[in-house]
Amino acid sequence: MSVATSDAPASKPRNIFQTLELDMRLLGMVAAFIIICLAFNVATDGRFLTPRNLFNLSVQTASVAVMATGMVFVIVTRNIDLSVGSMLGFIGMTVAALQVQVLPDMLGLGHWSIWMIAALAAVLMGAALGAFQGWIIGYLMVPAFIVTLGGFLVFRGAMWWVTQGQTQAPLDATFRLMGGGAEGTLGETLSWAFGIIAALVATGLILLSRRRKVGHGFQVKPAWAEAILATLVAGLIIAFVWVMNSYPIPRGAMRRITEAQGIEYTDGMVWNHGVAIPVLILIAVTAVMTIIATRTRFGRYVYATGGNPEAASLSGINTRLLTVKVFALMGALPGISAIIASAADGGRGGRRPGVGGAWLRRRC
Return the pLDDT at 364.
56
**Integer Cα distance of 47 and 57 in angstroms:** 13
Question: Which pLDDT belongs to residue 292?
Answer: 95
Please state at what angle helix 84-97 crosses helix 51-76, rounded to 10 degrees.
120
* Tens digit of each residue's pLDDT, the chain (364 residues): 444 444 444 445 566 666 666 777 878 888 999 999 999 999 999 999 999 999 999 999 999 999 999 999 999 999 999 999 999 999 999 999 999 888 998 888 888 899 999 999 999 999 999 999 999 999 999 999 999 999 999 999 998 888 887 888 888 888 999 998 888 899 899 999 999 999 999 999 988 988 888 888 888 778 888 888 889 999 999 999 999 999 998 888 888 888 877 888 777 788 889 999 999 999 999 999 999 999 999 999 999 999 999 999 999 999 999 999 999 999 999 999 999 999 987 655 444 456 665 555 455 5
Sign of CA pseudo-dihedral 309, 310, 315, 320: positive
DSSP-assigned letter for residue 50: S
21 within 8 A of 15, measured Cβ to Cβ: no
pLDDT of residue 345: 77
183 SS3 class: coil
pLDDT of residue 10: 47
The neighbouring-strand residues paired with 272 are 248
Measured between alpha carbons, how far is 4 from 230 in angstroms, rounded to an integer?
A: 48
pLDDT of residue 56: 92
Cβ distance 164 to 360 under 8 Å?
no
96-126: b or e for each residue (b if 16 or more CB lie within 10 Å)?
bbbbbeebeeeeeeeeeebbebbbebbbebb
Q: How far apart are CA 282 and CA 66, in angstroms?
A: 6
CB atoms within 10 A of CB 262: 6
Q: Among candidates 65, 285, 60, which has minimal Cα distance to 181?
A: 60
What is the distance between the alpha carbons of residues 35 and 41, in angstroms, rounded to a whole number? 10
Global pTM value? 0.87
Could you give the residue ranges of the DSSP H alpha helices within the chain?
A: 16-20, 24-43, 51-76, 84-97, 103-107, 114-139, 144-163, 173-176, 187-215, 223-244, 251-261, 277-295, 297-307, 309-314, 319-346, 357-363
Q: Are 245 and 188 in contact (CB under 8 A)?
A: yes
Q: Can you tell me whether residue 185 is helix, strand or coil?
A: strand
Backbone angles phi, psi at 50, to 5 degrees: -115, 155
Burial class (CB in 10 A: 0-12, 13-18, 19+), 60: middle
